[in-house]
Amino acid sequence: MTERRDPASMTREELTAYVREQGWPAFRADQIFGWLHKKHVQDPEEMKNLPGDIRAALKQEMLTTEEWKHLRSKEDGTEKFLFRLYDGQIIETVFMPYHHGNSLCISSQAGCRMGCRFCASTIGGLVRNLTPSEMLGQVYQAVNITGKRVDSIVVMGTGEPLDNYDNLIRFLHLVSDPEGYGLSLRSITVSSCGLVPKIRALAEEGLPITFALSLHATTDEERKSLMPVANSYTLKETLDACRYYFDRTHRRVTYEYSLVKGVNDSEAHAGLLAKLLEPMHGHVNLIPVNPVEERDFKQSDAESVQKFKILLERKRINVTIRRSMGRDIDAACGQLRRRAMLESNAKE
């Protein structure tokens, strides 16, 4: 990893200490923080009220998130960005306009080591964690490029957020800082495949975010066949951690359930899912699985998805079906990034 100090990943207190360490006047910290987190500037040369020597020093330290490719869906206005990082890694970010506001799905890692079989993000494994500034950079660049405010964030892109725990927590504090972007924590959702100790640690943070568990199965054996994390943590342990999260935060947990044709979308599966979640304070988000070239999973048909939803509702389970957005631009997680990295490596 880089030896740079990365000012955009520093809290205001840390940035103040850094400025003093450099021998600069203390008020420069507020100026730098404002340029980074209110005006979303990545090039210190644009920080016009800073002396040239400070701009030069910052240029040596800062990491950049550069636009590499930008696609816009003709179907629903979804916009997908590929951003190139300082070391050549490419990450995905998806901007989704809804009638209630604009949502941004960001990545937390370059690659992923969780190995979920229905996900393109994990093919090729984990390269490295993203820094807080690289997570923030996706938000700020999306705002700069679209000219629209991001009203909510879902940390559901490439990577397992809780596998990059410390950087995730720092990102949450920075993006919600009232002197910076100032996004309400209640407008942020963090999704995890189920790293039980980290779910419990997240509950202790006292942050009013929404937590989403990638569940996707109704038995331990089925979950193991889809998600290697299930070899480490049983369904009982995972749901107990979710119950603990609710007890500590009083924030309802979302349970994501990807429907795979002939694998987990039967009437029996709906009954088992309802039984599992009946005692939980939560919400089920049904997700017709996105086809992945390297996998043989198929998406459940619309009739099966609706039937599954109705069966859960009859058991008084709160449930919605996730709207599929940006299908014509490969907006599903991991697909475009993988193709882009293969093309980039081939050129090199």
Give the residue numbers annotated as catalytic, written as ranges: 92, 333
The secondary structure of the chain, three-state, reads CCCCCCHHHCCHHHHHHHHHHCCCCCHHHHHHHHHHHCCCCCCHHHCCCCCHHHHHHHHHHCCCCEEEEEEECCCCCCEEEEEECCCCCEEEEEEEEECCEEEEECCCEEECCCCCCCCHHHCCCEEEECCHHHHHHHHHHHHHHHCCCCCEEEECCCCCHHHHHHHHHHHHHHHCCCCCCCCCHHHEEEEECCCHHHHHHHHHCCCCCEEEEECCCCCHHHHHHHCHHHHCCCHHHHHHHHHHHHHHHCCCEEEEEEEECCCCCCHHHHHHHHHHHCCCCEEEEEEECCCCCCCCCCECCHHHHHHHHHHHHHCCCCEEECCCCCHHHCCCCCHHHHHHHHHHHHHC
